[in-house]
Amino acid sequence: MARRTLILVRHGHASPGAVDADRPLDRRGQGEARALGLALAALVPAVDQCASSDARRTRQTAAAILDRVSAAVSWADRSLYLCAAADLIDLARGFEGETGIIVGHEPSLSLAVLDLCGPDAGPVVDAGVATGTAVVMTFDGRWEDLRPGCARAARRIDPAEAPR
């Protein structure tokens, strides 16, 4: 059975704004996104796909990651903006290859980690997923078999520990 890696990323810190979907990364968020790209490149230099919400800050975070990590396919997906954890997992079930990244929002990210990894994920997402943070999960099987409790939260990559 093939091992799959799913990386869930919360966008970097964003500037305040009246229209939430249009808020860009602020200076801190730009640094978080660059650092996360460096950290992920050391872990997985290439991925099969990278999907992000179509919100500006998530697209910018994905772009910073993809400056360091090559992706065979990448796209922005409106369905990831304000989605439920189940919707995020459904998207991942359609992935191909071995490794995929989804750049999205809270609380759907931490809820998806808890759903996929069960109670052992608590320490990884104890207070949610902070801005500019990635959670790396692995599981054995096909993407379409992704289901509650099948994954293992391998690690969390925080902005503070990522290289700058």
Q: Which domains does the chain have, with CATH numbers?
A: 3-14+22-157 (3.40.50.1240)
* pLDDT at site 131: 93
> Hey, what are 100's tokens?
């995929």
Listed residue (57, 69, 76) closest to 5, CA to CA: 69
Across the range 134-161, mean pLDDT stands at 91
Read off the pTM: 0.95
Rounded CA-CA distance 61/149 in Å is 28
Instruction: Tell me: pLDDT of 163 over 70.
Output: no
DSSP 3-state assignment of 62? helix
* pLDDT at site 118: 87
For the segment 73-116, what is each residue's pLDDT rounded down to a tens digit? 999 999 999 999 999 999 999 999 999 999 999 999 999 999 99
Listed residue (49, 51, 57) closest to 21, CA to CA: 57
Q: E-assigned strands of the chain? A: 3-10, 46-53, 70-77, 99-104, 134-140, 152-157
Across the range 25-46, mean pLDDT stands at 95
